[in-house]
């Protein structure tokens, strides 16, 4: 009877033991990956939680429609840092998958689903920026709360529906790759959906984003060119005593106040930066998984470094927000002050126009206090009295 129990235990355990002996990663590489994952868990969870609090409590930032997509991006990053990365750190420390089979099937769903959510959220942000620039007159009609909610539901639904074939075992399957002790999409009957997902879920959104930002750049250049030609026409018409033509009315550049336009430009630059950083972080991993995917024996260190770069994408976004946008910096500072990290909440910095008006008032006060001003003012009043008396 004891022998039967030993045999049963031995048949239940082979999932873990061979995985450790068959690993193709050097121990130094797995240790580096495990430590990196622990660092990213700490920084990523804190950074994305603070970002969500800052976005939800800042009225200035909430008025932008893009904020809904940034929140979606932050939730995706937070889910990755709080679920995927801790499990990843443990498996690299142990050099084996020590959790249950069910969790092994859930792990790749969350991982690949988060990548898709991040990219599709960026597509939503890009389309928002394009409509703002190219279809400015219809922007407020299109980006109503109901439409934004539908877009976000679409982003999350499509991201995870793409993974249905391997989840159901129709095209590939979710399982453990013992050579790399990673739970991922495996081949089933010699077929895997991984390359198709790379094309649909990664390359296609990237192309949409690149084309959209290129169109934004061309549209802005075209509108500025129309404004310059219109201004030149008005100067010539006024010199000849004629009225100017209507010009480029209705465009984003002509109908948006300079301060709002500067804020939108900074926001657009920030979103472009986020996309480029995401691309730099995730492209090596996607290429490594597609090109060198047979047994991952060719370049093991390449896969480790590519994985660590991909994890970094869920950590760097809060840093980009703080570095590239003053409104986000103010929102972060207020949250830190609220949490008693330092000082009182920082008020938004006064604009340049405020400083100019303040300096003008101070200069006006100095001028009014001089004897010369009072003499000129008295002389002007006397002249006005003489004129009216005549």
pLDDT on residue 9: 39
Closest CA to 96 of 39, 23, 36: 23
Closest CA to 57 of 328, 294, 321: 328
CA atoms within 13 A on the CB side of 133: 24
pLDDT on residue 3: 43
pLDDT on residue 167: 92
Which pair of structure tokens corresponds to residue 248? 């480029």
Between CA 333 and CA 375 the distance in angstroms is 51
Mean pLDDT of 315-329: 84
pLDDT on residue 341: 58
Q: Which residues pair with 175 in a beta bridge?
A: 184
Which pair of structure tokens corresponds to residue 194? 């991984």
Residue pLDDT, tens place only, 376-386: 455 544 444 44
Mean pLDDT of 72-95: 93
Whether 212 contacts 51, CB under 8 Å:
no
- CA dihedral 300→305→311→315, nearest 10 degrees, is 170
CA atoms within 13 A on the CB side of 106: 10
> Percent of the chain scored above 70 by pLDDT?
69
Residue pLDDT, tens place only, 291-311: 765 555 577 888 899 999 999
pLDDT on residue 351: 46
Mean pLDDT of 332-336: 84
Lowest mean pLDDT among 53-57, 101-105, 110-114, 290-294: 290-294
> Taking the domains of the chain in order of start, what are their residue ranges?
11-348
Mean pLDDT value across the chain = 76
> What one-character-per-residue DSSP string does 81-101 give?
IIIIHHHHHHHHHHTS--S-H
pLDDT on residue 108: 93
Task: Look up residue 350 and give its DSSP letter.
Answer: P
Between CA 114 and CA 126 the distance in angstroms is 18
pLDDT band at residue 86 under the 50/70/90 scheme: very high
Which pair of structure tokens corresponds to residue 268? 């657009």
Between CA 89 and CA 32 the distance in angstroms is 10
Give the N- to C-terminal CA distance of the chain in Å, as an integer.
130
Tell how far CA 281 is from the center of its chain: 13
pLDDT on residue 362: 44
> What one-character-per-residue DSSP string does 122-153 give?
HHHHHHHHHHHHHSGGGHHHHS-HHHHHHHHH
pLDDT on residue 294: 54
Give me the phi and psi of 194, to 5 degrees please: -60, -45
pLDDT on residue 60: 80
Residue pLDDT, tens place only, 15-57: 444 444 457 888 899 999 999 999 999 999 999 998 998 888 8
Whether 26 contacts 231, CB under 8 Å:
no
Residue pLDDT, tens place only, 217-274: 888 788 777 766 655 555 555 555 544 444 444 555 545 556 666 776 777 788 888 8
Between CA 147 and CA 249 the distance in angstroms is 27
Q: Is 177 helix (H, G, I), strand (E, B) or coil?
A: strand
Determine the topology of domain 11-348 in CATH.
Answer: Rhopdopsin 7-helix transmembrane proteins (1.20.1070)
- 277, pLDDT greater than 70: yes
pLDDT on residue 376: 43
pLDDT on residue 142: 85
Which pair of structure tokens corresponds to residue 185? 């999409």
Helix (H) or strand (E) segment spanning residue 51: helix 27-57
pLDDT on residue 44: 93
């Amino acid at each position: 009877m004891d022998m039967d129990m030993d045999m049963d235990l031995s048949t239940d355990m082979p999932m873990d033991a061979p995985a450790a002996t068959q690993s193709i990663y050097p121990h130094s590489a797995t240790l580096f990956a495990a430590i990196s994952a622990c660092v990213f868990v700490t920084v990523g969870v804190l950074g994305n939680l603070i970002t969500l609090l800052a976005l939800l409590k800042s009225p200035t930032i909430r008025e932008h429609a893009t904020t809904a997509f940034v929140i979606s991006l932050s939730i995706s990053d937070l889910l990755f840092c709080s679920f995927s990365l801790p499990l990843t750190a443990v498996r690299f420390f142990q050099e084996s998958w020590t959790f249950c089979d069910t969790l092994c099937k859930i792990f790749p769903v969350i991982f690949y689903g988060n990548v898709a959510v991040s990219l599709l959220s960026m597509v939503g942000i890009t389309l928002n920026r394009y409509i703002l620039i190219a279809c400015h007159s219809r922007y407020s009609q299109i980006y109503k709360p109901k439409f934004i909610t539908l877009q976000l539901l679409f982003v999350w639904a499509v991201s995870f529906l793409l993974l249905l074939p391997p989840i159901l075992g129709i095209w590939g399957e979710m399982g453990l790759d013992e050579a790399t002790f990673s739970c991922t999409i495996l081949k089933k009957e010699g077929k895997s959906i991984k390359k198709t997902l790379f094309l649909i879920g990664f390359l296609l959104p990237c192309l949409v984003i690149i084309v959209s930002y290129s169109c934004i750049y061309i549209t802005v250049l075209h509108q500025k060119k129309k404004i310059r030609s219109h201004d030149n026409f008005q100067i010539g018409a006024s010199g000849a005593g004629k009225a100017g033509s209507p010009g480029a009315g209705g465009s984003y550049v002509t109908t948006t106040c300079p301060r709002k336009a500067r804020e939108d430009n900074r926001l657009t630059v920030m979103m472009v930066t986020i996309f480029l950083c995401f691309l730099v972080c995730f492209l090596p991993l996607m290429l490594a998984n597609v090109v060198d995917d047979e047994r991952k024996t060719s370049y093991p260190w390449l896969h480790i470094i590519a994985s660590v770069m991909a994890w970094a994408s869920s950590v760097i976004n809060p840093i980009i927000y703080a570095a590239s946008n003053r409104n986000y910096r103010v929102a972060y500072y207020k949250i830190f002050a609220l949490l008693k990290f330092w000082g009182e909440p920082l008020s938004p910095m006064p604009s340049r126009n405020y400083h100019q008006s303040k300096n003008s008032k101070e200069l006006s006060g100095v001028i009014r206090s001089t004897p010369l001003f009072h003499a000129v003012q008295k002389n002007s009043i006397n002249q006005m009295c003489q004129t009216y008396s005549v």
